[in-house]
Structure 1
């Protein structure tokens, strides 16, 4: 076990620089440090990745020559050193000393002088370095995403950029089968956890400060779950009736499926996902919340043959996407996504809609959801689908900002994530 928090953070960040996901890398990193240092480790990882598009060009200007690929851990250590100097309350001398000291834990003593020189030079030249940055880098966004936001949301781009760089709130969903929101707010108050009700979803609660779920009253017994308020809107929009057959086609980790069952315990719900490993999260959530659903591994673009045509009254499609609406929760998106990913994702989203549509009963509805704010993945996908399906029609929604073929909730600091919704109905067959 290493006790050097910055070395552990640098190794996790290096994994992201090499193409890994922070969600996959962080749990192992947290296990290497003491419990009291886990909060700092998370802050260093999330903060460094959140500001990466701003920090990286400054680091390159401070280096005499690029680092070798095998020294990505040192590059990550330098980046998190810059992050501490630029965006934390850690005293400059402490940030420099601790970062330099981490070279030993990484077993790269040769980098000690380099780290010290780079960070101290940054302190001397930070103002001049900042002036060399372009608009996208100053806003800590990759150029392609900055341009896309300016194009798709010209009046809201500045607010979106700020929201993407903010720390996200911790939001809970009260289990309506077990308690009212007012009752759970009182439980939180009694536990010394200030919170307030959300404005969009009747079960949503915003904690004033993040907390370990193990400390939440009744969490283990299923009284509440962690779920952003915008994600909770999906169950409100789908609104299945008693006895309805519902398919959650991209269900993992199960938040929306469980919310549907909490609000409508008498529906017959099938939770499907293409990833068998992630389906275990669905099963775990169902068990903790004492809910029942049929759990099935299958590809939504090519549904299993055991799902008959026209079987479901409602289908929920939480489609794989760029995650451009939840960057504040997944800052590694700024590094891992590329502009060429968007057309590929749009094609995948269209294939999922085409694959699932035959399973929807005439008169039934399909709710298409993404955690993206990019038109190419949202209205663009829905407009193309409507153009090739004569039996599909778009229904109006009363949420967020109306778009060409759906509605968008935009992310905002202290508020919900950015999600897109489009509700489609399959027209009933004409009498013969």
Structure 2
């Protein structure tokens, strides 16, 4: 059977939204059924539908007498795929309609052909009518449709960032940049920049603290000089701050807690190859496969353990000089990279995550040597997971000293509890860091 990328996009979006599956799990399964540029087309349609889901559903809702349910639900997502192509992609309208209608046969329901055709052609007529009017933002639309985020999340961002909430939501809708991390065991960042220049790969910016390299546009990793040899990795500049802040020293005994997929583990080892040992733990054994793969490609070694960070069952009894706790979190700082987070994460998840983070932090702190350093990190922007979590921990423990973080070599804000990066700060992901010293 000839695979139709629109049909696969509909199935992928259905799996995420209606069945609660991760896009990072579902998309590769469907991409394996395609070849060449169709893989990228499928990714663009899936990411696009998930970025603009409320808006697209609102477009379709006005053109149908009743919503599609049960076995017909996959065709609801096929309609969204069609509308996304028409509204946001450079595909000619006739091709977007005809290819999306053709997907009904691939999805084994020819009876839906007429409906899909009618709705998409109706949407084209709607756009034509809109184009004749002066374009204005429709302020009568509910916020979830206007901003393409769930209502509960919009309220939390408004509460946490009353002056910046709209900019945060807008940043979440942007396409993420491709950041690189040069392996210092092979090349400095400056030397690797020269290799990129020789390969005619354009550099956008260099992040001054971590020396992370941002490309003008994403490319296939196979085109990066020395990727297979371990010269470079893909990692957002916000995530690259972790190794810098942990600041490992020679002969340190180091723990990377909740380590999968292993980017920060590898970065620490690249930065300080003379540490005494590196232990990387994660509760999901299946995710540790990626840790092993990254270590192997970069020719690094670590003691990798499938373990629950809220328990000491795995622990040998040796305390650590440095601990990186990349805590389980809502992922609300990386929505631009993972738009499915908006729809998979629920409001009541946050309180559960805060409790889990508290349990892990309390447990892991006991594994740190007096005089040792722990860096707490999340890819969240929600204060209850970040500054409020750390403030609670400091208030409840007498042996904790918060070390002020000075981003960009500016004057240190002694009152700030950690360092909160918001999405698109210097084109980086949303991240939070707090650096804690265990008193003697």
Structure 2 length-normalised TM: 0.93
Whether the 8 Å CA contact 2:230–2:299 is kept in 1: the answer is yes
| Partner of residue 10, structure 2 | 10
| Partner of residue 118, structure 2 | 117
Q: Deviations over 1:158-188 (max 9, x none)?
A: 2211110000011110001100112212212
Matched, 1:426 2:438: yes
Q: Deviations over 1:108-162 (max 9, x none)?
A: 1111111112222223335499845223321111111111111111222122111
Query: Which of these residues, 296, 299, 302, is aligned with residue 287 of structure 1?
Result: 296
Across the two proteins, how many residue pairs are aligned to each other? 427
Question: 4+ runs of 1 displaced by more than 4 Å?
Answer: 126-130, 400-404
> 1:369, 1:297 → 2: CA distance?
20
Whether the 8 Å CA contact 2:207–2:213 is kept in 1: the answer is no
> 2:433, 2:25 → 1: CA distance?
28
Whether the 8 Å CA contact 1:362–1:426 is kept in 2: the answer is yes
RMSD of aligned residue pairs (Cα, Å) = 1.9
Matched, 1:274 2:283: yes
Deviation larger for 36-45 or 221-230: 36-45
Superposition deviation, residue 44 in structure 1: 0.4
> 1:59, 1:143 → 2: CA distance?
20
Unaligned runs of 5+ in 1: none
Superposition deviation, residue 419 in structure 1: 0.3
**What is the DSSP-based 3-state SS (H/G/I as helix, E as strand, rest coil) of the residue aligned with 1:220?**
coil
> 1:241, 1:336 → 2: CA distance?
39
| Partner of residue 108, structure 2 | 107
Superposition deviation, residue 106 in structure 1: 0.9
For residues 346-357 of structure 1, the aligned pairs below 5 Å read 346-357=354-365
Superposition deviation, residue 363 in structure 1: 1.3
Matched, 1:306 2:323: no
| Partner of residue 237, structure 2 | 229
Unaligned runs of 5+ in 2: none
Q: Deviations over 1:344-384 (max 9, x none)?
A: 11111111101111100111111110001111111121122
Deviation larger for 378-387 or 252-261: 378-387
> 1:109, 1:130 → 2: CA distance?
38
Whether the 8 Å CA contact 1:170–1:209 is kept in 2: the answer is yes
Matched, 1:161 2:169: yes
Query: Which of these residues, 249, 252, 271, is aligned with residue 244 of structure 1?
Result: 252
Superposition deviation, residue 386 in structure 1: 1.7
| Partner of residue 340, structure 1 | 348
Q: Deviations over 1:189-238 (max 9, x none)?
A: 22221124422444411111211112211000000001000000011111
Q: Deviations over 1:266-289 (max 9, x none)?
A: 112111111111111111111111
| Partner of residue 90, structure 1 | 91
**What is the DSSP-based 3-state SS (H/G/I as helix, E as strand, rest coil) of the residue aligned with 2:366?**
helix
